[in-house]
Structure 1
Amino acid sequence: MRARPDLPLRRAHRIGETLATLAVAALGVAFVIWCATNEGFGWQYVGEYLFAPGILVGLGNTLLLTVESAAIGLVLGTLIAVMRLSPIRALAVPAWFFALFFRGTPLLVQVIFWYNLAVLIPRVELAIPGIGTVFHADVNAMITPLTAALLALGLNEAAYMSEIIRGGILGVDRGQVDAAKSLGMRPGRILQRILLPQAMRTIIPPMGNEIIGLLKATSLVSVIAVSDLLFAAQAIYSQNLRIIPLLIVASIWYLVATTVMSIGQFYLERYYARGTTRTTAPTFRQVLTSSIARFHAPQATRNGGDL
């Protein structure tokens, strides 16, 4: 058996890798011990309030607000994206200003603006000449905190979704559109049958990230007293002053929700990536199985050949 000239380098690499792993593991253990022994975290209160009724109600409201805002953003964002791609300037220009405004102003400002819309428009009336007023409403009563939150989150999400969808549509080969036109297909059918199905491969990853960001952005609506997850935690710690434990409880539920959404996004990406690549991204189970198999493999196999 011949000695390989790169053997000292491989051994030095393994030693360095081992030392780095031990150092990271030591820091991790030290951090865990610090968290476990620091009484300021109040872990006993975290366990006590993790499944508190108020927290669970706030979590449900947060998830509902996320789903509704994402639905508004997806539908309206698709419409805005199509308008921006339209050759008709009367459609493209307003869509461009919509995206510019809602992407260029802070979401918190938009939440507070919609909540105080009654200052600008106290009353809405619809009158028909010769008949009189057929509809009237008090804007202050119409724009509840939940309505203001949905308007702010939904419209802001629509602006970002429109750019994501527009980019995905522009990424489709223009030749396919020309071929469809030569076959006599109408623009609406081309969009439905050719552009959007192929654009989904490009749209899904940033759209998933945007919706996950939307879930976390719902915490901003607590400033207008919408009973979301963060507001529920604030309501509890304003009474018992357990600020850190309640913030940890809220963070745990946000982390659980975003993790579940990330898993769903992963499998959705795998579904739309079929047929575009030779191999799809491995699942967590496949990664774990291959890692265990590699760990138990013979030393020569792990080193890439005979020593």
Structure 2
Amino acid sequence: MQFDWQFFWKSLFTPSDAFLEGLTLTIVVSVVAMVLATVVGLAIALMRRSPYAVIRWCASIYIWVIRGTPLLVQLVIIYTGLAAVGLYQFHDVSLLGLSVKAAVQAAIVGLTINESAYIAEIIRAGLDSVAKGQFEAAASLGMTTTKLMRWIIVPQALRVMVPPLGNSFNGLMKTTSVLSVIGVSEMFLVTQSISSATFHTFEIFIVAAIYYLALTTVWTYIQAWIENRLSRQLGIEARVSLTQRLLGARRPGAPVAEPLELKEAR
């Protein structure tokens, strides 16, 4: 069995409509799930910092359960398990003129729940990275909690949270491949269908791998841009290059990121 180069190049540069639809669905589900997971994760992280023990325990149990069970199991429970026990069944709905299938809804819910548990810990760690003295100083100045978070804590915590949040989204795009188990026609399931119909398994899966790599590479560039923008706002000279982000390469003796005010104080 020989490698069909003609089929490979055709699939790579002129993919079928079904493949492009799967690619689009992969991107849409990833973005929507990440946005929702960030909102839920923020809420869970704030619950972890609540002065009430019951709220803290609820958040901790949520993180423990979600992080301790596989995403695949969670998807099956959400999509088929809830319907089997009569709690809830997903149905196709029309949203802004678009038809959203039941499996896609369940996929977004499942990814949101799963990812939010990890994001909650990222946000918690980011907030904890800010010195407690700044909280006390803001309180002594009479700042409200909202102003404290908006102007002092969040800008500093974001610099710590952006890299792991970006990595989470990077992993989320690749994790969408498991959505095929509940029948979501994302890129991986479409690739399987093309493989079964054409018997060009090796060729089409290499094409899919290249497209996954392209998606993660584009996001890596966006992530580096976001980190550099935050660095400029915080007065940090060192910049993250795309080569450094992709390959971990750094010039020998290159300076480590350091706020300008620290350098001026020396």
TM range (shorter): 0.7 to 0.9
**Could you tell me which of 113, 120, 132 is aligned with 2:85?**
120
Unaligned runs of 5+ in 2: 93-100, 245-266
Matched to 2:178, the amino acid is L
Is the 8 Å Cα contact of residues 90 and 103 (structure 2) preserved in structure 1? no
Is the 8 Å Cα contact of residues 231 and 237 (structure 2) preserved in structure 1? no
TM-superposed deviation, 1:101: 1.0
**Could you tell me which of 265, 277, 293 is aligned with 2:236?**
277
Alignment partner of 1:228 is 2:186: yes
Alignment partner of 1:47 is 2:9: yes
Alignment partner of 1:145 is 2:109: no
- Tell me what 1:25 maps to: none
Matched to 2:182, the amino acid is I
**Could you tell me which of 115, 133, 146 is aligned with 1:188?**
146
Alignment partner of 1:212 is 2:170: yes
SS of the equivalent of 2:24 reads helix
For 1:91-128, what per-residue CA distance to the aligned partner results, in whole angstroms no more than 9, with x for missing partners?
A: 211111111111111111111111111012256xxxxx
- Tell me what 2:25 maps to: 61
Is the 8 Å Cα contact of residues 61 and 229 (structure 1) preserved in structure 2? yes
Rounded Cα–Cα distance in structure 1 between residues aligned with 2:5 and 2:51: 59
Q: Where do residues 1-307 of structure 1 align in structure 2 (5 Å cutoff)?
A: 40-50=2-12, 51-116=15-80, 117-122=82-87, 139-141=89-91, 144-274=102-232, 275-282=234-241
SS of the equivalent of 1:145 reads helix
TM-superposed deviation, 1:40: 4.0
SS of the equivalent of 1:86 reads coil
Matched to 2:55, the amino acid is L
Matched to 1:88, the amino acid is Y
- Tell me what 2:95 maps to: none
The alignment's TM-score, normalised by the length of structure 2, stands at 0.82
The alignment's TM-score, normalised by the length of structure 1, stands at 0.71
Rounded Cα–Cα distance in structure 2 between residues aligned with 1:70 and 1:192: 22
Post-superposition, which runs of at least 4 consecutive aligned residues in structure 1 deviate over 4 A? 282-285
Rounded Cα–Cα distance in structure 2 between residues aligned with 1:161 and 1:227: 26
1:70 to 1:40, Cα distance in 2 relative to 1, 3 A: farther
Greater shift, 111-120 or 161-170, is seen at 111-120
Unaligned runs of 5+ in 1: 1-38, 124-138, 286-307
TM-superposed deviation, 1:238: 1.4
Matched to 2:150, the amino acid is Q
Supply the RMSD in Å over aligned alpha carbons: 1.9
SS of the equivalent of 1:227 reads coil
Point out the structure with max Rg over C-alpha.
1
Is the 8 Å Cα contact of residues 40 and 244 (structure 1) preserved in structure 2? no
Rounded Cα–Cα distance in structure 1 between residues aligned with 2:242 and 2:21: 32
